[in-house]
Amino acid sequence: MHEIAFHDMPDGRRIAYRHRQGDGPTLVFLPGYMSDMAGGKATALFEEAEAKDRACLLLDYSGCGDSSGAFSEGSLSRWREEVLTLVGALVKGPVLLTGSSMGGWLMLLVAEALGGRLEGMIGIAPAPDFTRWGYSEEQRTQLSKGNTIYEDNPYGAEPTPTHAHFFADAERQMRLGSAIAIDCPVRLLHGQRDADVPWEISLRLAQALRSDDIQVCLVKDGDHRLSRAGDIALLTAQVASFY
């Protein structure tokens, strides 16, 4: 695994990343909410890229992992800026975006900005618009008032926060309500036992995307993470189909 490097943003943010050059489009992995590049899927994809001599870029959003900043200041717009800055500084040629959960929402925003450089997209339990369909009206009201809400975290001891700043920005980034002008090949993987993101969201996303080259793979016994050995093998096979 390549060592962690850092890219300094103009305002002083230090974005941690791992990057290797190689053949084919550069795979750029976008982690989920409060996740980072040390996760199982990101690590497996980077190791696969090393084994196959493919180009790959992992990163931690500001406020996450080894990057600087406070998570409470994070937003889709802020993290999109970081991804695009690193792609512009480090990546030559086409880009293959892979986004997990919230990273699947961010993937759409990055894809729209990449234009002709976009080779394809792979979504893993993608969660576009989750602040709209994933929260109760009471939670949305609290967030609209500027309050932070907390939810039980099945993956850790501390509750998961959603900050009003993230929510306000997310309200301007909704994508499922209209056609999404992206025409590249798209592959969506989703577990049907996902307790966090209903698998029907992948079907809604497939319908909203303008591309005709879309495949949705439903894993009947798969959970939200899709991190089992068989799930990882399915993911790496989808990645390999772009090379």
Residue type, 135: Y
Structure tokens that stand for 107 in this block: 């993937």
Residue 121: partners with Cβ closer than 8 Å, 6 or more residues away: 96, 97, 98, 99, 107, 108, 111, 182, 184, 185, 186, 187
Residue 49: partners with Cβ closer than 8 Å, 6 or more residues away: 20, 22, 27, 55, 56
Is 224 among the catalytic positions?
yes
Residue 209 buriedness (CB in 10 A; 0-12 / 13-18 / 19+): buried
- Provide the β-strand partners of residue 237: none
Is 23 among the catalytic positions?
no
Query: Which candidate in 62, 75, 101, 202 is catalytic?
Result: 101
Query: Which candidate in 60, 169, 194, 231 is catalytic?
Result: 194
Is 221 among the catalytic positions?
no
Contact by Cβ (8 Å): 35, 61: no
Rounded Cα–Cα distance for residues 24 and 3 (Å): 22
- CA distances for 119 relative to 28, 34, 111, 158, 207, angstroms: 11, 27, 9, 38, 20
Residues known to be catalytic: 101, 194, 224
